[in-house]
Structure 1
């Protein structure tokens, strides 16, 4: 059995899917972590409420293949998301990477982009990412972790 790297993170009042090793420049870019980030970025950018971001993004606004391969398109969309979040009012790490976080990250008063992506999707779609396993196109590679997160919730 292949080692799945996507991580289930239990917070005080919620459960999140997160990356184990990080995605982006200088990170491990494990296939499962990258697949999760690609899927989440697609959901964020293809939502009607982000239409303005998408229309201003040019080539960066095109859907990503959820193939688990980090490339220039995935890196560009990570930066696009982070650029958009600059206006969110949150203090967060904006470095072109989606890093792992633990359940007490909020006490550090700086948020991780991966967490902001998760809460953005919850706000847009009304359900946590692990419950999006019922959405069309949810990557089979990370389905087991989404089920595990649901059981932990």
Structure 2
């Protein structure tokens, strides 16, 4: 159910049904979240985050699309880390919800969706703020997500990626 969408801020990999406690935890949605969490926590610039967060941030998640205690802990750790280190305005509920609007309003305050922040960090850390679909060229890009990106891309872009 995961998909690629276009927002005012660019292209994003997003979840459709939500990931975390009380959410549908569709396999494609969980795969997107696990992959983006790994990109965030495993980047060399995030050593301080790993140090502060402990084991839940230092071990790479298996990107299998199955929600488990390590994935749930990584979501909560990510939310807590970006609130503490970057003063981000997001909901820290251990869930990754689908985007309904650009921001959500919680208790009178505007807050960003966790999936938006995961995409922002992936673009900033790995893609020099380029299009998120360029992740498909990475060797660690989950094969399960290739059809999702290909549905979004025009035919010439899909052909180009195979020819490269």
Using structure 1 for the length normalisation, give the TM-score.
Answer: 0.87
Q: 2:111 is paired with a residue of what secondary structure?
A: coil
Is the 1:17–1:149 contact (alpha carbons within 8 Å) kept by the matching residues of 2?
A: no
**2:73 aligned with 1:76:** yes
Aligned residue number for residue 10 of structure 2: 14
Is the 1:131–1:146 contact (alpha carbons within 8 Å) kept by the matching residues of 2?
A: no
- TM-superposed deviation, 1:131: 1.3
User: Which ranges in structure 1 are unaligned for 5 or more consecutive residues?
Assistant: none
Aligned residue number for residue 44 of structure 2: 48
Return the index of the structure with the highest Cα Rg.
Answer: 2
User: What's the Cα RMSD here?
Assistant: 2.0
Where do 1:68-147 residues align within 5 Å? 68-87=65-84, 88-102=86-100, 104-106=101-103, 108=105, 109-125=110-126, 126=128, 127-147=130-150
C-alpha separation in 2, matches of 1:40 and 1:116: 10
Is the 1:23–1:29 contact (alpha carbons within 8 Å) kept by the matching residues of 2?
A: yes
Deviations 1:29-52 (A, max 9, x none): 001100110011001111011011
User: Which ranges in structure 2 are unaligned for 5 or more consecutive residues?
Assistant: 155-164
Could you say which structure has the higher strand fraction? 2
Is the 2:41–2:49 contact (alpha carbons within 8 Å) kept by the matching residues of 1?
A: yes
- TM-superposed deviation, 1:107: 7.5
C-alpha separation in 2, matches of 1:68 and 1:107: 26
Work out the number of aligned pairs and report it: 148
Is the 1:130–1:147 contact (alpha carbons within 8 Å) kept by the matching residues of 2?
A: no
Deviations 1:74-108 (A, max 9, x none): 01110110011113233211100011003x32375
Which contiguous aligned blocks of 4+ residues in structure 1 show a shift greater than 4 angstroms? none
